[in-house]
Amino acid sequence: MDYKNSEAPITTITYDRTKIEEPTHNIYESISIMAKRANQINEDLKKELIDKLEEFATHNDSLEEVFENKEQIEVSRFYEKLPKPTAIAVEEWLNGEIYYRNPDVTDSKK
């Protein structure tokens, strides 16, 4: 998924509790689902960032030589400016983009 085009807020905002708990009718279950999704997003972003930084890495055996690669700094700054994984997860939850299921609840249609 492309997190770079996310419309999630960068700053902290207050959400309506009823909108968050509406799909599950349980605020704790909703928060748990969003937390799991935020962990997934965080892992994806972390892997993507490490892969991009590895492209610019210069491997030296000497610990005294430290090179500041401008490309690495720019990539790092770009990822720092992205919305936090929790904000992206909340935005996806409110837009109905997260699939979830509870295996303990049986479907009445079956």
Of 32 and 109, more confident: 32
pLDDT given at position 109: 43
State the Rg of the chain over Cα: 19
Identify whether 86 is part of a domain: yes
Identify whether 108 is part of a domain: no
Domain total of the chain: 1
Identify whether 13 is part of a domain: no
Taking CA atoms, 12 is separated from 15, 83, 98, in Å, by 10, 10, 21
Domain that holds residue 46: 18-55+67-101
Identify whether 1 is part of a domain: no
Residue type, 20: I
Identify whether 27 is part of a domain: yes
Identify whether 80 is part of a domain: yes
Against a cut of 0.85, is the pTM above it?
A: no
Tokens of 42: 């965080």
Identify whether 30 is part of a domain: yes
Identify whether 75 is part of a domain: yes
Tokens of 20: 């968050």
Q: List pLDDT tens digits, range 38-48.
A: 999 999 999 99
